[in-house]
Amino acid sequence: MERRGRGRGRARGERNLGFHNRGRNPSSSSNKFASSSNTHSNKNNEESSTITSSIVGTCNDMCPVKERAQRERLRDLSVFERLDGNRGKTSPSLAVKKFCRTISTMDIQPSDVRPLQVLQDTLFYLFRLLDSSEHPFELVHDFIFDRTRAIRQDISMQNITSVQAIHMYEEMVKFHIVSQYKLPKCSDDPNISSSHLNMEQLSKCLLSLYDLYDASRKSNSINDNEAEFYSYYVLLHLDSESQKMGESLSLWLRHLTTPVVKSKEMCFARRMLRFFRMGNYKCFFSTIAAEASYLHYCLMEPLIHEVRLHAVTCINYAGYKLHPYPLEHLSKLLMMVESDMESLCNSCGFEISSDEAGNKLLPLKQTGSCRTKTGFQKYTFMGSERIQSLNDSFRMLQASYHKDS
């Protein structure tokens, strides 16, 4: 697995009031987004580096000839770049330019930079690797993770702000969102560093995309997908507990156009934010099941386990002791199968009883701890059938886009 440089200047995400006092690891999804007040002013340092003026790339391969030769000599080739498995041999059809943190116009030549069409072809090639069953997803992700950063760097060096560049950024954002959903399932530890680094790049990619939207709007061009991608920013604030962050998000929303704010995607995201902060778990789950897109679900899934814990806690402490709560009803409320619901209650230290008819019940006013370490991915989401069908449609749309691009 290739080593990747860690991003710098990451602002700490603060937390929100709804499901409060929840001890989450700082590498979780809550600590990843730069302050929204700087959304349209901060450029990604890794993309722009020390570039002071744009150049026009002339490299027609996915990897410049000079870099390819050097990496062959150093045997610095990914498993995806090796010709016949040889660590010291590659080809123009396999090698892909690596991300370089420190770069400037003093060091770069046009032959080292790929023009837009080559960048599009390279991105298409990289995303085709996602369909590979030969290698584990973590390995594929690490390779694409690094090479897409290099693509963004080439776009920035050439100051490309075209519609094609916007579409490329949108596809890269989607890659990072889906990766954030899949990576925790590749390990027993959901807080692995790959997820943390992926979230950092997701935030940077989104911010750069918003800069491109702004540039496009100044030229009187409106992108059809703006509402969708702005809604992701709102959902990434679901687990922000501080009132200060809430105010920043409110100010950020004021900069958006009225059509975007009133769009179906933004209305959904804002309702989810409201349900989460109010602790309205019933509406939270029912709205996900009925309305969430596949990418929306990918962003919210890490919070599902947390909201379930909050719901069980509320019901246990707020209910009447002589009226045990039917486990069947609770499982439907939290969009779980009943056996998973019983397992979750047990992991919280709550005992389950049965009535004369054999129906399982949750006795209330129990002393227990809902700070279980059980991973959210253990329990299925009963609305996931619709989500999975959306995933299939999403993959078909991606394939169609890549074919046309």
Contact between 268 and 284 under an 8 Å Cβ cutoff? The reply is: no
Name the pLDDT band for 46 (thresholds 50, 70, 90): low
The answer to whether residue 7 scores a pLDDT higher than 60 is no
Q: For residues 208 and 213, give the distance between their C-alpha atoms in angstroms, rounded to a whole number.
A: 9
Does some domain include residue 317? yes
CA–chain centroid gap for 326, Å, is 36
Chain mean pLDDT for the chain: 82
- Output the pLDDT for position 384: 66
Contact between 310 and 281 under an 8 Å Cβ cutoff? The reply is: yes
Does some domain include residue 210? no
CA–chain centroid gap for 99, Å, is 20
- Three-class DSSP category at 258: helix
More confident residue, 292 or 34: 292
- Output the pLDDT for position 108: 87
Does some domain include residue 220? no
Does some domain include residue 112? no
- Output the pLDDT for position 320: 86
- Output the pLDDT for position 186: 82
The model's pLDDT over 281-303, given as tens digits with 9 standing for 90+, comes to 999 999 999 999 999 999 998 89
Q: Cite the DSSP H helix spans in 74-192.
A: 116-128, 137-157, 163-182
- The structural domain count of the chain equals 1
- Output the pLDDT for position 127: 94
The answer to whether residue 328 scores a pLDDT higher than 50 is yes
More confident residue, 365 or 385: 365
More confident residue, 33 or 121: 121
Name the pLDDT band for 83 (thresholds 50, 70, 90): very high
Which residues fall within 8 angstroms of residue 44, CB to CB, at 6 or more apart? Answer: 152, 156, 204, 205, 207, 208
The answer to whether residue 393 scores a pLDDT higher than 70 is no
- Output the pLDDT for position 297: 93
The answer to whether residue 232 scores a pLDDT higher than 60 is yes
Rg of the chain on CA atoms, in Å: 23
The answer to whether residue 321 scores a pLDDT higher than 80 is yes
Most confident listed range (28-32, 64-68, 237-241, 333-337):
64-68
Does some domain include residue 93? no
Task: Report strand pairing: 360-362 vs 325-326.
Answer: antiparallel
- Per-residue pLDDT, averaged over 196-220, amounts to 93
Q: Which region holds residue 335: left if phi is over 0, alpha if psi is between -120 and 50, else beta?
A: left
Q: What is the CATH number of the domain that holds 354?
A: 1.10.10
Domain that holds residue 321: 303-405
Does some domain include residue 26? no
Does some domain include residue 79? no
Does some domain include residue 106? no
Indicate the pTM of the whole model.
0.83
Contact between 235 and 299 under an 8 Å Cβ cutoff? The reply is: yes
Percent of the chain with pLDDT over 70: 76
Which token pair is 383? Answer: 């609305």
